[in-house]
Amino acid sequence: MSHQPYDHPYYLAVAPPMPDYGAGFAGGEKGLINTLFVSGLPDDVKAREIHNLFRRRPGFDSCQLKYTGRGNQVVAFATFFNHQSAIAALHALNGVKFDPQTGSTLHIELARSNSRRKRKPGSGPYVVIDNRSNEASNAQEPSSNDDGDSESEDPSEDDNHESGNEDDSETAKSGETTGADGTAEAENPEKPVDGNVNPCSTLFIANLGPNCTEEELTQALSKYAGFKMVKLRGRSGMPVAFADFEEIEQAGKAMEELQGSQLASSDRGGMNIEYARSKMRKH
DNA sequence: AGCACA
């Protein structure tokens, strides 16, 4: 009755163990994608809103809002410290209603390539890129980017990575001064409030359906290398599980692939998987 | 958001 139609190719639910987006992703970067591409935003969205959307997500680094220049379309990029955090945020936020008035929902996918901007102390937690006054095609608010800011630090933060943009002459603007709003957050931008990003060879699995069983979990987990055992706890209400692996890397791999996927018994969306706070006790 | 077992 009530469930989200996920149709992203990035994750297969509980399907063949297949190493995806590892090395050799489109574009040929060095490693995994840590950046999310966000579309479906209302055209009056503010960079601060994007930042507030992502700032509480574990492993969040920074984000940027971009006026693409085509129409009034606005997109955003959110960068995380690692791939799995990006995946988790993707699953957590994809499809959420962003504006209750219009009912518009967020569309989030992995970016085609990582944002190249290096986080350095001094640069704000978010950034605005405005490509709107490109041609005479659409001039709605040309007065928005009148601050010919030569940021001088980071001229190469551009983006090849979105689905529907091919423009490059952007103007980067440091975050604290969010234009008209000026409501900068009084918070330390260098410290994202993170949940738990400490790797552990045991995984904590939440958001399971009330009827989930250890057998079902075992079946889903046992295809991953190094899997040892799983324990189901707290059957009353929302059950959680702990899955133990031989190695941290193997746990991480399983988490990455199963993150957000739904078991047959799930009814409240995909699994939420994190590294456990402590390793499963010896037996 | 929710992290036990000894």
- Domains of chain A and any CATH numbers: 35-173 (3.30.70.330), 202-275 (3.30.70.330)
**Residue with tokens 């707290």, as numbered in its chain:** A234
Q: Which residues of chain A fall below pLDDT 70?
A: 1-30, 117-123, 134-197, 283
A242: phi > 0 → left, psi -120 to 50 → alpha, else beta; which? Answer: beta
* Rounded CA separation A31/A83 (Å): 9
pLDDT given for residue A103 in this prediction: 82
Strand B bases contacted by the protein (CB, 7 Å): 1-6
What is the overall mean pLDDT for chain A? 74
* Rounded CA separation A250/A237 (Å): 29
* Per-residue pLDDT reduced to its tens digit, A153-175: 343 344 444 444 333 333 333 33
A222's tokens = 């046992």
Query: Could you give phi then psi for residue A104, rounded to 5 degrees?
Result: -70, 140
Question: Buried (b) or exposed (e) across A139-171, using 16+ Cβ within 10 A?
Answer: eeeeeebeeeeeeeeeeebbbebbeebeeeebb
Nucleotide nearest to A237 (CA to C1'): B2
A163's tokens = 């689905």
A71 - beta bridge partners? none
User: Contact A45/A65 with Cβ under 8 angstroms?
Assistant: yes
* Rounded CA separation A258/A278 (Å): 20
* Protein-strand B interface by C-beta, 7 A: A 56, 92, 195-196, 202, 204, 206-207, 231, 233, 238, 240, 242, 244, 268, 272, 274-281
**Residue with tokens 């975050």, as numbered in its chain:** A175
**DSSP conformation class of A142:** G
| Distance measured from the CA of protein residue A32 to the C1' of nucleotide B4, in angstroms | 32
pLDDT given for residue A23 in this prediction: 38
